[in-house]
Structure 1
Amino acid sequence: MTIADQIEIVRQNIDQYTEEAGRPAGSVRLLAVSKTHPASAIQEAYESGITEFGESYLQEALTKIDACKNIPLIWHFIGPIQSNKTRAIAENFDWVQSVDREKVLRRLSEQRPGQLGPLRICIQANIFSEPQKKGANPQELPQLLDLAEELPNIELRGLMVLPPPVSEFDRQLEQFTKVTQIFNELKQKHSQMDRLSMGMSGDIKAAIFAGSDMVRVGTGIFGQRKPRKPDNQN
């Protein structure tokens, strides 16, 4: 099956789940997670109408951004962020969905070139306080959101979450619903937040039912990820 075929299936599923959830058509955006896949795969996805791509490994991403520089794409950084990588991220990406601490947020603001306009930010939230995962816990979120709203060169847009993996739909829905409740509470103060990035290939239906505004799909579009050699690109 080609990438174009896979995209069509993913789109049909998103449309179906959106309708079943009673939500407006087109209210869920699709982010194609292209990490570990070549620029040629991104080109093929673009030809099928995909314009937003998510990358997690900086050096790999920069190579692909350069290879695709003549295509009007929107690039999201979704991987863990080391402090010494913030300048390259601020200079080359349109969105950063994995901001999880004050130091990174301040550096992104300071290092964002003014001519590019504000860097659109989602705060990565560790709603379930999993020690092995990145993300601000519920107690840290309010202060981080306040800072994101105050900093120049930063446009606060929402939250990105990666809940504990569960296979049962009801449990997925329960987790995602909790996230949505917290998101809606935070929106009362930060009304400009319009992006709740949650849901991937294995739990996309539950995420949409719970209110996700963006689903991140990698294997469902590009197939299984190719193995990567260990490095320090994160």
Structure 2
Amino acid sequence: METIAERLKSALETIRQTADNANRASDSVQLLAVSKTKPVSDIVLAYEAGQRKFGENYVQEGVEKIQALQALEGTEWHFIGPLQSNKTRLVAEHFDWVQSIDREKIARRLNEQRTPHKALNVCIQVNINDEQSKSGVALNEIKPLAHAIASMPHLTLRGLMAIPNNDLDDAALRETFVQMKNAFTQLQAQYPTVDTLSMGMSGDMTAAIENGSTMVRIGTAIFGARNK
């Protein structure tokens, strides 16, 4: 069985090779290791192998890990799951990024609850395939939400995040990624802080990178099957 270090190396090589094939710089795509449901010991192994960016979907679990791993220098914690109003304070106080902003109300609460000396990096989550079961805004709702976030002094708008429908065929998946890339490019033209297009996971990261992703969120390909 491959170790976490070996799987991490393999994922990074896939990212590098895919970026190279797409005529992109190898460092233009970052790897976010999605560590939800995984023990602290697994995160330590990934850290020792060089990984610094970690993603968590559940507030309490994520906060407990952040607190347990405070001694690991240089870690960057991303909250990537749905966020309820009653959990915003914990996220604002502990995480470095929130990738799942889909309402102005949530953004305002995070802004009010964030420690003033360091802004919280945020991405707007886009429900690109209009799925009722998923969070996120429609494409035509990006602009007003971005405008609101840009006025909040303790938040820094960094870009967009999306989770495409996992039942799409290859052509439809690529079209979805193209739509996201276009929306990202439009946002970049308006806001100088925007530099992150978070799309692509273990099963579709190649297509995502080929269509402009700057950050892929990889869990099972690094840590193995998710714990129930």
Give runs of aligned pairs for residues 170-209 of structure 1, distance below 5 A.
170-209=171-210
The secondary structure found in structure 1 opposite 2:123 is: strand
Shift of 1:175: 1.5
8 Å CA contact 2:30–2:214 kept in 1: the answer is yes
Which 5+ residue runs of structure 1 have no aligned equivalent? 228-234
| Structure 1 partner of 2:140 | 139
- Measure, in 2, the Cα distance between the counterparts of 1:49 and 1:25: 16
8 Å CA contact 1:94–1:119 kept in 2: the answer is yes
Q: Deviations over 1:171-192 (max 9, x none)?
A: 3222111110121122222232
Amino acid at match of 1:106: R
| Structure 1 partner of 2:224 | 223
8 Å CA contact 1:169–1:203 kept in 2: the answer is no
| Structure 1 partner of 2:99 | 97
- Measure, in 2, the Cα distance between the counterparts of 1:186 and 1:30: 22
| Structure 2 partner of 1:153 | 154
Amino acid at match of 2:213: S
| Structure 1 partner of 2:76 | 74
Is 1:56 aligned with 2:60?
Answer: no
Amino acid at match of 1:85: K
| Structure 1 partner of 2:25 | 24
8 Å CA contact 1:31–1:215 kept in 2: the answer is yes
8 Å CA contact 1:201–1:216 kept in 2: the answer is yes
8 Å CA contact 1:51–1:74 kept in 2: the answer is yes
- Measure, in 2, the Cα distance between the counterparts of 1:169 and 1:12: 22
Count of aligned residue pairs for this structure pair: 226
8 Å CA contact 2:34–2:55 kept in 1: the answer is yes
- Measure, in 1, the Cα distance between the counterparts of 2:213 and 2:115: 30
TM-score (structure 1 length as normaliser)? 0.94
* Further displaced range: 127-136 or 198-207: 127-136
Cα RMSD, aligned residues only: 1.1
* Further displaced range: 74-83 or 119-128: 119-128
Amino acid at match of 1:218: G
* Further displaced range: 193-202 or 183-192: 183-192
- Measure, in 2, the Cα distance between the counterparts of 1:25 and 1:140: 32
The secondary structure found in structure 1 opposite 2:106 is: helix
8 Å CA contact 1:201–1:219 kept in 2: the answer is yes
Shift of 1:168: 4.1
8 Å CA contact 1:199–1:207 kept in 2: the answer is yes
Amino acid at match of 2:13: Q
| Structure 2 partner of 1:42 | 43
8 Å CA contact 1:28–1:208 kept in 2: the answer is yes
TM-score (structure 2 length as normaliser)? 0.96
